[in-house]
Structure 1
Amino acid sequence: MIVITPVPGEVTGHAAQMYADDVAEDGFVFAHTAALATNPEAHAAFENLLRAIVPSIGLRTYELATLGAARAIPSPHCLLAHGRNVLRADVLDEQTLAQVARGDDSSLPAQDAAVVRYAESLSTHPETMTDADTQELRDNGFDDRQIVDITLAAAARNYLSRALRALAVPIDEVPGISPALREALIGSRPLT
């Protein structure tokens, strides 16, 4: 990792809460949490952004936009973390999640597949996006506020995923992800 991260036991405020949340849920502090704890105010702002996005689109659509963006980048950190979130929230079953992680959206309902495609386009070639991209979301039942929030969800994932990659944050083993699903989500990338 490029940055020296705050030492557990020496952090206070929001950074201390970030560490405590990881330990309470998984028994250790994730490397990405430690990196983000270097600027806890930015992490808090990011969390506030997500809290402003999710209510209009719901957790399912947020996670699908996140998955589409993380798959496109690709972001092993976010694919693992949000893959687990998708399973825990019962957004997708493990088999469908593995298919989507591999780029096969055929088992998704049309509305979900449109969200994943939109997030993927935003993450790979935003300069080619046109009104047709937002029209596909509109045709699948999303209103203007939801389209903005789907866009923000995918863009937020790009921001965080690209920051973690630029900082060379190690990929942690994420509890609750089977070896087969891990392989589908991130392939054979080493946990370094």
Structure 2
Amino acid sequence: MDKGFLERPRASAEAQRLYDADVERVGFVMNLSLLWAHEPTLHSGLFDLFERAAKAGGLTFRQRSVLVAACASVMGDAYCSLAWGNRLASVAGADVAGRVLRGEDDQLDADDRVLAEWARKLARDPNATAAGDVQALRDAGYDDGQIFGITTFVALRIAFATINDSLGAQPDHELLLAAPDPVLEAVTYGRACG
């Protein structure tokens, strides 16, 4: 495990709950959790917001995976690219996941493609979005409330990645071991795996 640039967090019941949740969900304590254990209530609050934004956006697991893989790859965030690239591979196939991580959306259906494009625009330069970009989301069937939820979800993921990357979180070795070849080949950026 690698805690990043911060000292190891002090032991607390809240931190232990964070670690225990990792072990239950993925089988190991994630490097990210060693950072967030400094303020576990911020972690739980942020993840509650993720869920609320995803619900407001009407997002499926696959759509969440497309959004996170697209924005994380543009940001050069290896941690979230590996984690969500693996998740996308589990629901869309390894080749699709690898292509989304490389910015190639030709194997996505039109609805997923518009989500990937939106996520990348937000991650690259949110000031460069235009009414036509929002209209593309409407044309894909999203109403304005869903568009707000989708945008909030991506913005929160960008904030999460920024915190993790800024504080030196390295992708877990387990993520690397679980990644299919197309995902591994696409993630050539960010911090090396811990």
- Asked if the contact 1:61/1:150 (under 8 Å) is kept, the reply is no
- In the alignment, which residue of structure 1 is the partner of 2:187? 185
Unaligned runs of 5+ in 1: none
Q: Percent identity?
A: 25
Determine if the alignment matches structure 1 residue 138 to structure 2 residue 138: yes
- Asked if the contact 1:171/1:191 (under 8 Å) is kept, the reply is yes
- In the alignment, which residue of structure 2 is the partner of 1:109? 109
- In the alignment, which residue of structure 1 is the partner of 2:5? 2
Q: Could you state the TM-score of these two structures normalised by the residue count of structure 1?
A: 0.89
CA deviation string 1:6-27 (max 9, x = no partner):
26xx3313x2221012223444
- In the alignment, which residue of structure 1 is the partner of 2:41? 41
Backbone CA RMSD of aligned residues:
1.9
- What is the aligned residue count? 187
Shift of 1:124: 0.4
Q: Which of 78, 82, 85 is 2:84 aligned to? A: 82
Shift of 1:81: 1.1
In structure 1, distance between residues paired with 2:63 and 2:146: 9
In structure 2, distance between residues paired with 1:187 and 1:179: 15
In structure 1, distance between residues paired with 2:131 and 2:68: 21
Q: 2:142 aligns to what SS in structure 1? A: coil
In structure 1, distance between residues paired with 2:48 and 2:76: 24
Determine if the alignment matches structure 1 residue 53 to structure 2 residue 53: yes
In structure 1, distance between residues paired with 2:105 and 2:172: 26
In structure 2, distance between residues paired with 1:4 and 1:17: 19
- In the alignment, which residue of structure 2 is the partner of 1:157? 157
